Amino acid sequence: MATPENPLIPMGAITGKPKRDAIAENLRAYREKGITQFMIYPRSGCELEYLSEEWFLACRNIIEEAQQAGFTSIWIYDEFNWPSGTCNKAIPQKHPEYAMNQLCIYKEDDKYNFIVRKNKNMTDLMNPEAVDCFIEMTHELYARHFGEYMGSLIKGFFTDEPDIAFFSYENKEDVLRLPYYNGLENDYFNETGNELHEDIISGLKNNSDFYQHTTNRLCAEKFRLNFAKKISAWCAKYNMVLTGHLMNEFSSEKALKCNGHPLVVLREFSLPGIDEIFTHQKIESIEWLTFGTAMNAIENNGNKGGLAELFALGPCDLTPSQIRRQIWLAAMFGINKYAMAVAALDHRGNAEKSIYFNPFSRTQPWFSLYDKLGEDAAKAASFATKTREKKIAVRYPYTPAPLTDLLKHLTQEQYAWSLIAPDEETECEIVLVAENGGIREEKTNKTFFDFQRLEHDLLSKKNLRSAWISAENTAPVRDIFLRTFTDGTCIVIDFSENSRELILKRKGVSSKFTLTAGGVMVFPGWEVKLDRPNTLRPHFTDNRFTFTVTGQTINVRLALRNYAGKPEIILDGKKVSAEDQCTEFPQGFNEIYLTSNMISLAPGTHAIELENDVEDLPYLPLLWLTGEFSCHNHQTISPYNNDGLGLDSYAGSVSQHATLTIPRETSMVSFETQQLPAELLINGVLLGKCLWGPFFWKIPQEYCGKEVELKLIRYTTCGRIFGKTIFTENSSAPWLTEFKPSNSEKLVPFCEAIWR
């Protein structure tokens, strides 16, 4: 049986000159705590010559001992320290023609002058020959030594902060530096019809960077093709992936300068990643732009997951609770692998890297509990590849924009947002662009000059939240992160310092819950199944009833009364024939109704017409529409999504299912069933039936703290299938109104579990 993979990846800084027995001891210690992945990380403190035979012998010892210990994955860090691409600075120093170029502008005698300078410490990663040299001097060497492991135990290469703007700042007279490649001026002219140097001078004189839209786009394309795509393709030859992250994702100004455009480049990584090493503790300081960058690349790559480097800046007294919270936050943006920085063999590297320290090793006294962190990280990772709801898109342009404040505001107000690239299409209803000191909504072209106007005039008027967290006094809560998924799952992450009683509102259901300080709360997405089709009773006016289909085409049947006068029905101009006995109604109706063949109804308006004079009796309707649909306001139907919505005219059983973990300290569970009789099953075992309140069930101790399949079945009355209109508009029969079915209350789509 294959070993399940733990998503935690110690970034194993190889320090000193480690012997094989020390390597084996270290790997066994991790393996005993459930760790199955390890990154070989050449870093300060390593006393082996980088990429020497001595270095590769140490790597072989790691690989072979990891395989023997039962590790599932080895990752190779592609550089000595960072940024990636230099072979510990050997490439730009041995091959000066491959050194990074920078376009520098300086002023002399009131005249702007241009010069291309080189940085002897950084490789030109927009130059395909320079990148080929990097691959030959790094990746190919690993392939020659460990080709038999590549694509099996060795899963991929990790690249760290490759950068097209790693400038040299020796020339203090420079007033501007830009990433540069040979031919940039010609490409700029072909794009714009303007001379690049003239546009830069104009921008400097007018305090404008308008030219950056084009220069950044051109550089992003060079960086994408010649670095990210080239190395991803090399890795793919060996059935491996390219992972890692870019430079300065947290700031649009810095990210654009260092990468051309991070969304464009990162998409070429076969396993996109990010760097989130600051571990901010407050909503207002979290790197929302960094996380949004990852989510865009991951989803454009098929939503198969990503990798984040976490925690490297410490501090070293981060608690497991804070670490756990950051892992869950990363998972909410599609990241399912977590590189734990730094897991050094020993700490001699801190003699050089002296200002930050956060050991993910046996240095931490709580290392003995590392297995528990891994188990929880696996739960977080299981949500990373779920489909996230996205109601608002925020466009990331080729020029710097105040995106961080906008994303922070949307997060605090609990909106589901996503970043999109400059030319990317989106299905989101709202597309926001931060520009010219305001926020423009792209589809309406309306501009708002502060968040309050944006909220009041636009966002609050749209149905943009499928879930909402409030305090018990209904006050908004802004120090939580809320993620909703299309399957109905909600996850709440706390960024306060106090435990609180809060309320989750989703799909018409309000649920009280306790959120611990810094904690994570998972509300499962209930799948709501029916034991028979839904119904819609037409209400005729002048022998005509119109209704609307939204979403996709729906298949329905018409059930026509076959007693006390048979209706003759025209649907969309075609006569409806009903010859088969009904089977989908409660007993007593199936016997006297006939059903049509399946009829496909496309989105749009449809009309049912009554051709003969037959009375529509209150408890013997002329006809019903039946099918797998949701019914809204008795005149609109849409495809049913197993979410419990649109069942106000449904009569039958409603079963809601979820996989969830029962709290460890609990003895019973209750549900607000709307007084509908119900029964509860756990893992298929019936715990009992409740026909009246209180609706609670005792939980057997063997289920506490365990993940289970929970199923609640509610049973409606038959009254809902008759609708409401005929009982409220028939003034000639007062008793009909007085004794009408009590079916005016909306059927709650599902009930939340309340553990006691």
Q: What is the pLDDT of residues 605-630, one digit of tens each?
A: 999 999 999 999 999 999 999 999 99
**Residues contacting 16, CB < 8 A, separation 6+:** 45, 46, 47, 345, 346, 348
What is the spatial distance between Cα 252 and Cα 230, in angstroms, rounded to a whole number? 25
- The amino acid occupying position 724 is K
pLDDT tens figures, 181-228? 999 999 999 999 999 999 999 999 999 999 999 999 999 999 999 999
631 contacts: CB under 8 Å, gap ≥ 6: 534, 535, 536, 637, 646, 647, 648, 649, 650
Average pLDDT over residues 734-738: 76
Q: Is residue 160 within 8 Å of 153, Cβ to Cβ?
A: no
Is the previous residue joined to 342 through a cis bond, with omega within 30 degrees of 0? yes
In the chain, CATH 2.60.120 covers 529-643
Rounded distance between C-alpha atoms, residue 244 and residue 125, angstroms = 15
**Is a pLDDT exceeding 90 seen at residue 604?**
yes
Q: Which two tokens stand for residue 182?
A: 């040979």
The CATH code for residues 529-643 is: 2.60.120
Q: Strand pairing of 430-435 and 392-395?
A: parallel
pLDDT at residue 162 is higher than 60 = yes
Length of the chain in residues, anyone?
Answer: 756
What are the tens digits of pLDDT across the range 547-603?
A: 999 999 999 999 999 999 999 999 999 999 999 999 989 899 999 999 999 999 999
For residue 181, count other CB atoms closer than 10 A to its CB.
20
pLDDT of 473 reads 83
- Examine the pLDDT at 733 and tell me if it is beyond 80: no
How far is residue 431 CA from its own chain's centroid?
Answer: 18
Confidence band of 729 (pLDDT split at 50, 70, 90): low
Residue 732 clears pLDDT 70, i.e. is over it: no
Instruction: Please give the pLDDT value at position 497.
Output: 87
pLDDT at residue number 386: 96
Say what the pTM is.
Answer: 0.92
pLDDT at 727 over 90: no
CA distance 429 to 417: 11
